[in-house]
Structure 1
Amino acid sequence: MAGIGFELRRLLRKNTLVGLIEAYAYAGVIGSGPWVFSIVGILLVGIFSASVVVPSYLVTQFQTSVTYLVAGSLILTGFVQLAFTRFVSDRLFEKRKDLILPNLHGLLLVVVAVASVLGTLALFLLLPGQALVYRLLMLAGFTVMCGVWILTILLSGMKRYKAITVLFGSAYVIIVAASLLMRPWGLAGLLGGFVLGNLVLLMGMWLLIVREFNPQGRLIAFDFAQRSMLYPSLIAVGFLYNLGIWVDKFMFWYFAPTSEAIIGGLRASLIYDLPVFLSYLSIIPGMAVFLVRIETDFVEFYDKFYDAVRSGGSLEYIESMRDEMVYSTQQGLGEIAKIQTLAVLVTLVAGPSLLNALGISQLYLPLLQVQVVGAGLQVGLMAILNVFFYLDQRRIVLILCVQAVLLNIVLTAFTQYFGAALYGYGFALAMLITLCTGLALLTRQFNRLEYETFMLQ
């Protein structure tokens, strides 16, 4: 463990209220930085451009275009994000650091090539007849964002959360500034600012990784594609997790009663999208608790447990460390539940004022409240999946991701059939049921931990 774990422990060792507040504030910013900067940046561009860009619907077209770029790039790169992170972890364990950068270049080459082909097809299928500049910017934005997510997951695996946050923050400052400067050019100007900022982000992360791994020898390699180094379960999990998060949004975008055509074949759901964007701002406190508990308490006892197993520690000590792992997980999930419950209560009280301040109708309030609950449940599910990854239970993670996707599709379709009063409940219930399943499986896994550690090796 490195990076944020050491920093959080340093702050917590102060054993003061100020140190505790600093630790949780630091973890909140680091953990949810990319989400927050992305959402706030897109909203700011829209707010500042609404009175300048004429006609005003171009702002909506920009925000919809960017949303599709984010969703599409996340789902596509989901196939390789976790698998490549495991490849990097294995090479670091083998002290073969020299293999990482060439394979990163090879993966980027493959991802950019696939993204370019799929993006080009999408231009003809979804955006026929649109301006050439707009279509080229969409293609450029899609390929650049695919590269951004690849480098982001690699830096996350290296525990370089602080660097990710600083880079995302700087990039979205550039995006907002560039978009505002180029907004007289309408949609092309707004989208050009977005692509420019993400290109700067991509280059910044690449330079950071090059500095970390010090290039030597081969420039490009494809060792990660060898059969012995592929993890099909991780490939499936990465894709299914991102699909599970976005599938209900796509269903609302292409469900006629809740959507409208925005540009070309791209549709949006004005009744669904704004509450979703705002609800993800509520995950900041939950992400703070998630990082503090996972990167300090749980990992500390996880390391002690497996160090004792490898070094021949006493059974009593091993069982004690197992109990501490269980307790730290319970504490972390309990604190996430408490803090996200508080976020729901704040939404209930301050939601009307927030919507008024943003010029949004009060009709969105019930859906916003449901989405805040769903986002909080998603944080809890992320915590459980992370624990399963530490325990190397990829099959269980795959089962949970499949369940989340199927439940989200079925329950969202159910709510769409029965009308607006149930909108948003499909995603929230899917997260709740999957979270409960994860808790049951995690309890069973902890009860069997010593047996599986010693008897199944």
Structure 2
Amino acid sequence: MSGIGLEISKYLEEDSVTGTFKAYGYAGLVGAGPWVLPILGILLIGFVEVAWQGSSYLQSFTTSVSWLVGASLILTGLLQLAFTRFVTNRLFESNERLINPNLLGVMFLTTVASGLIGCVFSLFLFSQPLSNEILMIACFAVLSNVWMVGLFVSGLKRFKLMLVAFAIGYLTTMIMALSLMSFGLNGLLAGLLIGHAVLLFLLLALVMPSYPLILQPRFDFLNLRLIFPSLIAIGCLYNIGIWVDKLIFSLHPATSERVIGPMRESQIYDIPMFLAYLSVVPGIVVFFLRIETDFARAYERFFQAVKGNASLQEIEMLGCRIVESVRDGLRQIIRVQGATVLVLILLGPSLIEWLGVSSQYLPIYYICLLGVGAQVLILAVLNVLVYLDKLDDALKLTALMGITNLVFSLVSVRMGPDYYGYGFGLSMTLTAVVGIALLFKELENIEFRTFMRPRPVRANISAWESP
């Protein structure tokens, strides 16, 4: 966290309007850029495709992309946090020789898993042309690897280069998809595949030279002594919690339609949800400015004081600063995201009309705005809990998020159109409230909890040592 915080702090220390704008702009680009760029890229492809050839393939393409992204995030969620922790512990013990081999190992495992899952779905659920199925499986595998490798770039604190890589990757996606558009859906998927392959290789080019270039894959990250199983569950449940309501609305016959193969789309839910998610940019900016900056720096000072045998009074003072930084960060997220939601609710009718979207989506849009606002708070709370190594609480929170979103969304579908979106909104709000309560409970007596933390298990590196 502290890497981006140091960069932002340089701008804030200028103590000027220009410096403040630079800080907010940088936080916005780094925090929201990697997911805003894909959205803008797919939107541009859609607009051009409609203008040139009509919308014959657009719905099939956007539906395919939605399912590919959701499925790849849920799949890689099983390994993302656990593998990141494995790498962090190896770096803490100066065991960098294990990084690249295990990166290759996790990429191999990800590719095999996504390929096998794709083949099973292709054989038993799809009846599309073989070329289409091959492209879907390839896109699924490449996307899954992009999510895994992207974590390393963040860990290296190369946020600017990561943003540049995403920009180049999605620019390539747009150029290739539009160039191959004459080949129909397969051309659009081929463009998506080429663009993400370019992005993947760019991310690898940023990561691998930073560690010893040992290219023999290893699977130490699967050693139960070196990983945290709770992180596997947290990563999986978090992504399920985000996607389960979309899945329910996409699969229910009353709220969706079949588009391509078994893949369905719920326009009445997806469109307002998509618009609502664009509203999180201000909240993400504040999250990066306050949680990634103030909290990260406060915790770093606290941890260094503990390691450096500082006095109890100094440690307690630094512990209080951690609590203050978290409280101030959450308060500012609530203020900024709340103001954003209020403005967008007031502008809702005009925005919907300007976009040419039916006014029937407005009630769902309003509820989704509240839900995604609460989701920003959940993201902040989970970041702090995992940073503090409070994995049991993070697991409880993600389980609550997944279960309530599943149950509430099922109930809202059964209750009818007037209640669409309420399941997601209530689930995120409840999870955010419970998460904040859990977080501040854990921050009590942080000095004692820090001293009682278990030390990470050191990896056996004898295989790498010279004879």
TM range (shorter): over 0.9
Q: How far apart, in 2, do the equivalents of 1:455 and 1:201 lie? A: 42
1:430 is aligned to 427
Equivalent of residue 279 in structure 1, options 276, 289, 302: 276
Query: Which letter does structure 2 place at the counterpart of 1:53?
Result: Q
Q: Is the 8 A contact 1:259 1:268 kept in 2?
A: yes
Q: How far apart, in 2, do the equivalents of 1:46 and 1:165 lie? A: 23
Q: How far off is 1:455 after superposition?
A: 5.2
Q: How far off is 1:2 after superposition?
A: 5.2
1:375 is aligned to 372
Q: How far apart, in 1, do the equivalents of 2:253 and 2:121 lie? A: 21
| Matching of residues 173-322 of structure 1 within 5 Å | 173-216=171-214, 218-322=215-319
| Matching of residues 295-374 of structure 1 within 5 Å | 295-374=292-371
Q: How far off is 1:456 after superposition?
A: 6.3
Q: How far apart, in 2, do the equivalents of 1:181 and 1:398 lie? A: 45
1:16 is aligned to 16
Q: Is the 8 A contact 1:126 1:266 kept in 2?
A: no
Percentage of matched positions with identical amino acids: 42
| Matching of residues 72-221 of structure 1 within 5 Å | 72-128=71-127, 130-216=128-214, 218-221=215-218
Paired residues in the alignment total: 454
Query: Which letter does structure 2 place at the counterpart of 1:196?
Result: I
Q: How far apart, in 2, do the equivalents of 1:139 and 1:322 lie? A: 49
Note the residue ranges of structure 1 that are not aligned, 5 or more in a row: none
Q: How far off is 1:258 after superposition?
A: 0.5
TM-score by length of 1: 0.96
Query: Which letter does structure 1 place at the counterpart of 2:385?
Result: F
Summarize deviations over 1:155-179 as a string: whole Å, max 9, x none. Answer: 2233332222221122111112211
2:30 is aligned to 30
Summarize deviations over 1:100-144 as a string: whole Å, max 9, x none. Answer: 01110011111101111110111123322x112111110110000
2:421 equivalent to 1:418: no
Q: How far apart, in 1, do the equivalents of 2:222 and 2:51 lie? A: 50
Summarize deviations over 1:328-359 as a string: whole Å, max 9, x none. Answer: 11111111111111221221233333323332
Q: Is the 8 A contact 1:301 1:321 kept in 2?
A: yes
Q: Is the 8 A contact 1:52 1:184 kept in 2?
A: no
Structure 1, 165-174 or 350-359: larger mean CA deviation:
350-359
Q: Is the 8 A contact 1:97 1:213 kept in 2?
A: yes
Q: How far apart, in 2, do the equivalents of 1:93 and 1:2 lie? A: 15
Note the residue ranges of structure 2 that are not aligned, 5 or more in a row: 455-467
Q: Is the 8 A contact 1:4 1:162 kept in 2?
A: no
Q: How far off is 1:289 after superposition?
A: 0.6
Q: How far apart, in 2, do the equivalents of 1:245 and 1:16 lie? A: 38
Summarize deviations over 1:384-429 as a string: whole Å, max 9, x none. Answer: 1111111101111001000000000111111111111111111111
Q: Name segments (4+ residues, structure 1) moved above 6 Å.
A: none
Q: How far apart, in 2, do the equivalents of 1:454 and 1:210 lie? A: 35
Q: How far off is 1:453 after superposition?
A: 2.7
Q: How far apart, in 1, do the equivalents of 2:227 and 2:96 lie? A: 18
Q: How far off is 1:291 after superposition?
A: 0.9
CA RMSD across the alignment:
1.5
Q: Is the 8 A contact 1:340 1:373 kept in 2?
A: no
